[in-house]
């Protein structure tokens, strides 16, 4: 007898099984059925006929501690409400960037106490790191590394210079885990910001104007060339420029193991409309785009040249985002509760894509890239029974004040899309019932990477 049977339109890797069913036993997918009538008996049946049974979303870019008010607990509640069953937590924590074994273990303990969805962790390295700092973090369970060539803070978010990268990237390559980067050239951007301030150009659109495309493309070109010579698995976080995607394709053709990620805000927000409209609440690094760049990025996405869509969830409190001088605001936006409905609407409803495209970009590809694909990101026999139920008949209106995140704001506040997350299931257990997050703190598990010591 099954523990659970879920009836509905099952989103698989390359299509949708309409009026199908998924069987669950001991938290795993135990059966896929052409109809509910073909399934064995189950202790519990969830009938969501007419709704899409997506794999639980795997959000590969989440900042749980970009501000201390957010925490693992609030971020994972927001994740559950958005159909996200697994997050990859970024390592740039205020006061304790995750670059030592001791800090890593403390964060794993916090996950065990507080998480309501499953959490994998990226580690980072010190500004002057040595190669021997890599393997201890991989053995602890880091599923990859996150570094930057843009310096926000020399301790928490440092620029890792070329000579250090030349030492540590071969060690990361040897470990087998990927390394992802924030790719912008800070010297170009900081000079332009200083010039804009001197000229009194501190209006919202100045954020876009001081981050020219070359500030991203030049950084990514350098990282691709380093990956070519060191053979490291490279992941390019929050890619915005079409030319960046084109360069990734060129290096892929030369054998570089590289994946490219973009985010909903680069596809949906417009610099000329939304920066003046919501001001600092749309300040994100790299900047949101103007229409021609957005069109180019959409072209690459629809052609299959973008691998992953993640939220880059960075939920600053409102007082860090409401300054008239655009440069005085923190950068980033919340996104855990909105990514799946927004991208379903943008891809399936507005552009006629099959839901399996959404599943690959938001679920399967991020899970595989970071070594979690055996358990996460797909509805397949033996995988974790993680599902995001989305009813395509129901509208979803973003109401930021009702968010589980500490931010209580969104650049999409008031937007209405077609398709609402009505239930989230993690390892066979409902964690969001369409109204409330019902999983207890600590139900979420830490997911060690493939190089973890067993």
Distances 267 to 294, 310, 321, 365 between C-alpha atoms, Å: 6, 12, 21, 18
Condensed to tens digits (0 to 9), the pLDDT of residues 360-394 reads 999 999 999 999 999 999 999 999 999 999 999 99
Burial class (CB in 10 A: 0-12, 13-18, 19+), 197: middle
Task: Please say whether the dihedral angle defined by the alpha carbons of residues 307, 308, 309 and 313, taken in this order, is positive or negative.
Answer: negative
Q: pLDDT tier at 274 (50, 70, 90 boundaries)? A: very high
Condensed to tens digits (0 to 9), the pLDDT of residues 235-265 reads 999 999 999 999 999 999 999 999 999 999 9
H-state helical runs in 115-175: 134-140, 162-175
Condensed to tens digits (0 to 9), the pLDDT of residues 113-146 reads 999 999 999 999 999 999 999 999 999 999 999 9
Task: Determine what percent of the chain is predicted with pLDDT higher than 90.
Answer: 97
* pLDDT score for 36: 85
Task: Please say whether the dihedral angle defined by the alpha carbons of residues 128, 132, 136 and 139, taken in this order, is positive or negative.
Answer: positive
Instruction: Please check whether the domain covering 57-369 is classified as CATH 3.20.20.140.
Output: yes
> How many Å from the N-terminal Cα to the C-terminal Cα in the chain?
32
d(CA 380, CA 388): 14
- The answer to whether the beta carbons of residues 431 and 116 sit under 8 Å apart is yes
d(CA 73, CA 442): 9
Q: Which of 131, 5, 186, 104 is nearest to 448 (CA)?
A: 104
Our CA angle for 327, 328, 330, nearest 5°, is: 90
**Average pLDDT score over the chain:** 97
Predicted TM-score (pTM) of this structure:
0.97
Residue 168, CB half-sphere, CA atoms under 13 Å: how many? 25
| Cβ-Cβ contacts under 8 Å for 296 (sequence gap 6 or more) | 242
* pLDDT score for 357: 98
The alpha carbon torsion through 434, 110, 157, 364 (nearest 10 deg) reads -50
Boundaries of every domain in the chain: 57-369
């Amino acid at each position: 007898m099954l523990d659970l049977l879920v009836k509905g339109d099952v989103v698989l890797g390359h299509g949708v099984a309409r009026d199908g069913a998924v069987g669950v036993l001991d938290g795993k997918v135990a059966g896929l059925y052409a109809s509910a009538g073909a399934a064995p008996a189950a202790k519990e049946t969830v009938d969501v006929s007419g709704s899409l049974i997506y794999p639980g979303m795997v959000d590969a870019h989440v900042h749980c501690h970009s501000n201390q008010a957010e925490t693992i607990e609030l971020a994972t509640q927001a994740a559950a409400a958005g159909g996200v069953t697994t997050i990859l937590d970024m390592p740039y924590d205020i006061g304790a960037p995750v670059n030592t074994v001791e800090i890593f273990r403390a964060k794993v303990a916090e996950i065990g106490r507080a998480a309501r969805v499953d959490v994998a962790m990226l580690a980072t390295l010190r500004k002057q790191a040595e190669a021997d700092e890599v393997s201890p973090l991989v053995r602890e369970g880091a599923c990859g590394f996150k570094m930057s060539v843009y310096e926000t803070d020399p301790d928490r978010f440092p620029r890792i210079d070329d000579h250090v990268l030349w030492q540590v990237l071969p060690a990361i390559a040897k470990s087998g885990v990927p390394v992802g980067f924030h790719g912008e050239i800070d010297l170009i951007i900081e000079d332009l910001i200083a010039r804009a301030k001197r000229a009194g150009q501190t209006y919202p659109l100045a954020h876009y104007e001081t981050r020219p495309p070359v500030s991203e493309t030049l950084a990514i070109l350098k990282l691709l060339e380093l990956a070519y010579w060191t053979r490291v698995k490279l992941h390019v976080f929050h890619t915005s420029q079409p030319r960046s995607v084109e360069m990734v394709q060129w290096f892929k053709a030369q054998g570089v193991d590289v994946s490219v990620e973009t985010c909903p805000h680069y596809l949906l927000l417009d610099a000329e409309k939304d920066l003046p409209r919501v001001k600092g609440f749309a300040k994100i690094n790299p900047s949101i785009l103007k229409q021609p760049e957005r069109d180019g990025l959409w072209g690459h996405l629809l052609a299959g040249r973008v691998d992953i869509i993640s939220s880059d969830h960075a939920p600053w409190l409102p007082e860090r985002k409401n300054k008239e001088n655009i440069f005085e605001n923190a950068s980033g936006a919340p996104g855990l509760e909105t990514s799946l409905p927004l991208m379903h609407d943008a891809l399936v409803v507005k552009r006629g894509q099959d839901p399996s495209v959404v599943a690959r970009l938001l679920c399967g590809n991020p899970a595989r890239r970071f070594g979690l694909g055996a358990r996460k990101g797909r509805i397949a026999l033996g995988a974790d029974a993680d599902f995001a139920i989305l009813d395509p008949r129901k509208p979803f209106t973003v109401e930021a004040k009702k968010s589980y995140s500490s931010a209580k704001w969104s650049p999409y506040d008031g937007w209405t899309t077609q398709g609402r997350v009505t239930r989230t299931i993690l390892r066979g257990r409902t964690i969001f019932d369409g109204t409330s997050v019902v999983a207890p703190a600590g139900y979420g598990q830490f997911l060690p990477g493939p190089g973890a010591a067993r």
